[in-house]
Chains A and B, each alone.
Chain A
């Protein structure tokens, strides 16, 4: 089971770049790494996904080192509306293990 470890919380200021790192030491060879964002009273929303190296889309970048034991979500120039909980989720080897960790509460300050 690729158990994940993320910081519980992070604070940032508007306009800054934010990097959230997730450790997944037991990730399996075929696992992808997916990041989700969750606002209060809403379900998680897909942000980005990757397998190795770097992936970039219109909202974020995902960096995955060669050993794949961690991944870093990078949010460029955050705004107040980026305040949310962010989860990383390696696709596990068993559906029974499809469990999100506690995530990282990002608070963006003015």
Chain B
């Protein structure tokens, strides 16, 4: 399995507090992604990164920011958490962009975030 570690694995917090989720990879892959998974919606892309300090928005980016200061780490921040952001968050990596290529994504085991 690809070396992807998400932390924390579970978190409960209150509305209005800042939350940062971390994704750490040991594969030296260039591309990293953050998804959220909710019942009835499958996985939806929040943000992705195509290199250190290079990021772009996905389908559901409102209310989230990301940062990538090192190849191995991709952080997802909820500046002021809301109950609608209660979800399971998955990080993924790929060697090349998951567009126009046949390089699949490899996923971490997720972070379950509950915002009360």
| Interface, chain A (partner B; CB < 8 A) | 30, 32, 34, 36, 41-46, 49, 51, 87, 91-103
Segment at the A interface, from B14-22, B70-78, B79-87, B99-107: B99-107
Q: Which of A44, A87, A91 contacts B98 (CB 8 A)?
A: A91
Contact B102 A32 (CB under 8 A): yes
CA–CA, A41 and B33, complex, Å: 18
A-B contact count (CB 8 A): 75
Contact A45 B107 (CB under 8 A): yes
User: 24 A-B contacts, Cβ less than 8 Å apart?
Assistant: A32-B101, A34-B102, A41-B110, A42-B109, A43-B90, A43-B91, A43-B92, A43-B107, A44-B90, A46-B104, A46-B106, A87-B42, A91-B100, A91-B101, A95-B45, A96-B56, A96-B57, A98-B99, A99-B44, A99-B45, A99-B59, A100-B43, A101-B42, A102-B40
Contact B92 A96 (CB under 8 A): no
CA–CA, A101 and B43, complex, Å: 7
| Interface, chain B (partner A; CB < 8 A) | 4, 33, 35, 40-45, 48, 56-59, 90-92, 97-102, 104-110
Contact B42 A98 (CB under 8 A): no
Query: Closest approach, in angstroms, between the C-beta of A35 and any C-beta of chain B?
Result: 9
CA–CA, A93 and B59, complex, Å: 13
